[in-house]
Structure 1
Amino acid sequence: MNDNKVLDVHDKPAPGRWLALSLQHMFAMFGATILVPQLVGLSPAIALLTSGLATLVFILVTRFKVPAYLGSSFAFIAPILAATESGGIGSAMIGSMFVALVYGIISLVIWRTGSGWIMKILPPVVVGPVIMVIGLAVAPTAVSMASTIKVNGVAEYNLLHFSAALVTLAAAIICLMFFRGVVSLMPVLIGIVVGYIYSAAIGILDFSKVQEADWFAMPKFLLPGIDYEFVITPELLLIMVPISIVTISEHIGHQLVLGRVVERDFIKDPGLNRSLLGDGLGTLISGFLGGPPKTTYGENIGVMAITRVYSVYVIIGAAVFAILFSFIGKLMAIIETIPQAVLGGISILLFGIIASSGLRMLVDHKVDFGQQRNLVIASVILVIGIGGASINISETFQVGGMALAAIVGVFLNLILPGRTNESLADDPIE
């Protein structure tokens, strides 16, 4: 065991230290968690609230054995936008709930049959390119947000706003490159803060909402049957559900890396079935209340690796803080005043990092592109996903983009000759 650990999984810190450590974890996930709802038109307050609730549920389901924080998933940005365009924001919430159902079904199957089969159908040559698609498919959105503003409903280039995006981007890069410790794990939050201050200096902020906001305010819920009609369509399911292939892969990867950090095998104890179920229930609660789908956060794993504090109670404290912050109306109003240019600037880096992490997976696992099989699978996934290819059976029945890329990738991996036994369980990350 690691003798250098400060607090083990079940250790409780002293009250004052507990407060500081939990706030640190909350700020580590804060920027990314509120960025997703900002990009897809959901409430940042609901994203914070549901991230806290989802984390508490996850810890409960995993029997207080896995110190993981659940935040907004970037894998669902493009699907949520597509589902919203197709049937309104309510459709995206319905889709999220069905993604959670898939998690539950797979969790049940793993409970009965073991986890070996899912590791084999999701090798790095499939998961890596699909992760790249997550970042690259929404790259045009980031650039547009960074460099344009709407004038009479038409997007026009604006140098002043683009300068705010560049300042935001520069601040985030400086955090990553020239700082160590916890600061290097919060480039999104720090980049947004610096970009916000610069935006205020050049006069592109509107503080009227902040002045009008109450200190206490209920988050804006989106409830089925009240705020939208609960209508399920095949098109909706095909837009959202296949992305679970990606997020389940991400979940497994995070459990493996976190296990190495705290020196435990979470795939065996409490079991992949329990951690997937906890993730799925968190996404179900989030979708029901109007928040984005959830995923375990690498940022918080990084904080644990640096601080050597693995206490699940610290994560619980961060979840409680997130819930409390979601009811502070002034804070949420400030978040809503963040200029699109600032969000676009940080998205340029963040989406690029997501794409690069997929490339890193291919490099780390030494995927051989001298083999035609690997070349074919990766090439087809990238072009279908980034190009936005779709299969349109009718006006209301189609599957395309990232979802189609993930499905085709898994299919090609199963039918093409030359399969190896390599899986995500062979993750070389230390």
Structure 2
Amino acid sequence: MPETDAESAGVPAPAPVHPVDESRPLGRVLLFGIQHVLVMAATPISAIFLMSAALHLDSRLTVDLLSAAFVLSGIGSLIQSLGPWKFGPRLPFVMLPGGAPLILFLAIADQHGLRTATGAVILTAAFSFVVLPLFSRLLAYFPALVIGTMIVIVGVNLVKVGAVLVTGRPGGPGFADPTHLLLGLATIGFTVVFYLLFTGVLRQLAVMLGLLAGTALAGVLGRLDLGSASQGGLVSLPQLMPFGSPQFNLLAALPLMIYSLASMAEATGQTVVNAEAVGKEIDRHTAVPKTIRGDALTSLAGGFLGLPLMVTSGENIGIVRVTGVRSRYVTAAAGAVLIVIGFLAPVTRAISVIPSAVIGGTAMVVFAVITVLGVQMLGRSDLDRHSNTFICAVALALGLLPILVPGVYGGFPPNLRILLESGVAVGAFVAAVLNVLFHHIRPGVAARLTTRRTEDAR
């Protein structure tokens, strides 16, 4: 084989660029980034609308908070994807509000007021920075068995969230409306058809094309309300401290601070599964703390803008796996698009008119991929060992209980109930504790007993 000029000059050839770090043409990066935005946009919208309804906020404040949610989601996505200094693992991540942190935020606001709730977010973000060095030392107790179990629970929970967007809440008005079911199932069908028939870039865009086709079908069926998209001004700016100066109450913030430990465990799992999804080897002891720092920094800023905790999202991991586009510059582009959306009020309103059933159909496919990633990780966890099977089974049973049977802990005290109803937190805690008992404590105890029996026999 002939030598290259670099080899003949004694200069080593440059190392190949990993697909995660590979730059792509700007137009294509933006297109793939918009796909991420379309799939995850429902989360900040629904989170802020839920927050507005629960706290009886006026429309102006709701618009301000929605703007802040998009801007902070964008900034967090840029931090996690680009990884400046010690923040962000340089993996294709997006960040979102919502989920358990939102429920905790609403509970604190209901009991102590909005100013105390925003103060609790700021205290929790600072708490994350303080306890991170200790948590980093505990990563050895979160092997693939624990993380895989947690990812399966996360995936099932997210599939349920997507399904509720299609069906509505059981017992609520319009539950299982046939038109909504048709839109959700048709969106899934469109996505499958596009993925089956297309190749190359179009196949990688199957998720977005399926969502757009579902939206078009909604328009044909008369389920697309475009009137609100043309109302209001052109620019929307996040408001600093929209509820007034934060009030700091450690006791009120305690449930959120405890939850942040579970959130760190979830960030650990998502960092590992994200790296596996893109085929990049990482050092967990450096990458995971960078993810958590990115979460904490974004949440700290969000607290001053009236938002609940911001967390890394598993939604985009499913998109990465389905499309095969692994570049972190795509999620960075998604972050830039989210920031623009946050400042452009008409774009925000236009995205908000996509029917929830269409978004739910798309989300169910993407979220189910996350569940499969967890199953794949469990497949490498030596489940032939009875102890591993037992650990996984118990953690799944307790972690899935509040997801499959909502309200099961309704009779418990409010603060304890909030923690128990987070299936991810319960599953991660149970798996980690059982892993320590079976694989760290029990072998040592057994070894000491064997030594003692040997000495007694002598």
Asked if these proteins are the same fold (TM beyond 0.5), I'd say yes
% identity of equivalent residues: 18
- Residue 371 of structure 1 is aligned with which of 369, 385, 389? 385
**Contact (CA 8 Å) 2:73, 2:310: kept in 1 or not?**
no
The aligned counterpart of 2:10 is none
- Which has the higher Rg, Structure 1 or Structure 2? 2
Question: Counterparts of 2:393 and 2:32 in 1: how far apart (Å)?
Answer: 38
For the 8 Å contact 1:137–1:385, the answer to whether it is kept is no
Change (3 A) 1:317 1:200: closer
Q: Within the alignment, does 1:246 sit opposite 2:260 as a pair? A: no
Q: Confirm or deny that 1:62 pairs with 2:85.
A: yes
Counterpart of 1:415? 437
Alpha-carbon distance change, 407 to 327 in structure 1, aligned in 2, over 3 angstroms: same
2:455 maps to which residue? none
Unaligned runs of 5+ in 2: 1-12, 50-64, 403-407, 444-458
Question: Which residue does 1:334 correspond to in 2?
Answer: 350
After superposition, give the CA deviation of every residue in 1:277-297 in whole Å (9 maximum; x if it has no partner): 234313433454326623275
Q: Which residue of 1 aligns with 2:208?
A: 189
Whole-Å separation in 2 of the counterparts to 1:227 and 1:351:
38
Q: Could you tell which deviates more after superposition, 123-132 or 341-350?
A: 341-350
Is it true that 1:71 corresponds to 2:91 in the alignment? no
What SS does structure 1 have at the residue aligned with 2:435? Answer: helix
TM-score, length-scaled by structure 2: 0.70
1:53 paired residue number = 75
Q: Distance in 2 between matches of 1:93 and 1:367?
A: 44
Deviations 1:174-225 (A, max 9, x none): 3444444444444543332221111111101111111213332335x58474
Question: How far apart in 1 are the matches of 2:427 and 2:43?
Answer: 22
Q: Deviations over 1:386-424 (max 9, x none)?
A: 211659763444331322222222111111247899xxx
Q: CA 1:97/1:407 → structure 2, altered by over 3 Å: closer, same or farther?
A: farther
The match for 2:178 among 143, 156, 159 is 159
Q: Post-superposition shift, 1:6?
A: 9.6
Map 1:230-309 → 2, pairs under 5 A: 232-239=252-259, 241-255=261-275, 260-261=279-280, 272-289=288-305, 290=307, 293-295=310-312, 297-298=316-317, 306=325
After TM superposition, give the deviation of residue 354 of structure 1 in Å: 2.3
* Corresponding position: 1:24 with 2:24: no
Match of 1:361 in 2: 377
**Which structure has the highest strand share of the two?**
1
Cα distance 1:179–1:378, how it changes in 2: closer, same or farther (>3 A)?
farther
Q: Equivalents in 2 of 1:6, 1:135: separation in Å?
A: 27
Q: State the distance in 2 between where 1:244 and 1:213 align.
A: 39
The amino acid that maps onto 1:132 is V
* Aligned-residue offset at 1:343: 2.4
5 Å-filtered alignment, 1:370-409, equals 370-388=384-402, 390=409, 394-398=413-417, 399-401=419-421, 402=423, 403-409=425-431
Partner secondary structure for residue 298 of structure 1: helix
Q: Which whole-Å deviations, capped at 9, do the CAs of 1:264-288 have from their partners, x for residues lacking one?
A: 75658x7654454234313433454
Give secondary structure in 2 for the equivalent of 1:156: coil
Aligned counterpart in structure 2 of residue 226 of structure 1, from 244, 255, 260: 244
Q: Which amino acid aligns with 1:410?
A: A
TM-score (norm 1): 0.74
Aligned 8 A contact 2:205 2:323 in 1: no
Q: 1:218 to 1:267 in 2, by over 3 A?
A: same
Q: Which amino acid aligns with 1:250?
A: Q
Cα 1:267–1:327, aligned 2, differ >3 Å: closer, same or farther? Answer: same
The letter of the residue matching 2:34 is: F
Aligned residues: 399
1:308-343 residue CA offsets vs partner (Å, 9 max, x unmatched): x67x6x765554343123222221111111222112
Cα gap change, 1:357 to 1:257, in 2 (>3 Å):
closer
Over aligned residues, Cα RMSD in angstroms? 4.3
Q: Matches of 1:96 and 1:32 in 2, distance apart?
A: 26
Residue 53 of structure 1: CA displacement?
1.6
1:143 corresponding residue in structure 2:
163
- Alignment counterpart, residue 108 of structure 1, candidates 128, 133, 142: 133
Q: Does 1:344 align with 2:367?
A: no
Instruction: Check the 8 A contact 2:159/2:364 in 1, yes or no.
Output: yes
Match of 2:146 in 1: 126
How much does 1:245 deviate? Answer: 0.9
The answer on whether the counterparts of 1:196 and 1:338 sit within 8 Å (CA) in structure 2 is yes
Structure 1 gap segments, 5+ residues each: 422-430
Aligned residue number for residue 102 of structure 2: 80
Q: Using a 3 Å threshold, how does the CA distance of structure 1 residues 198 and 304 change in structure 2: closer, same or farther?
A: closer
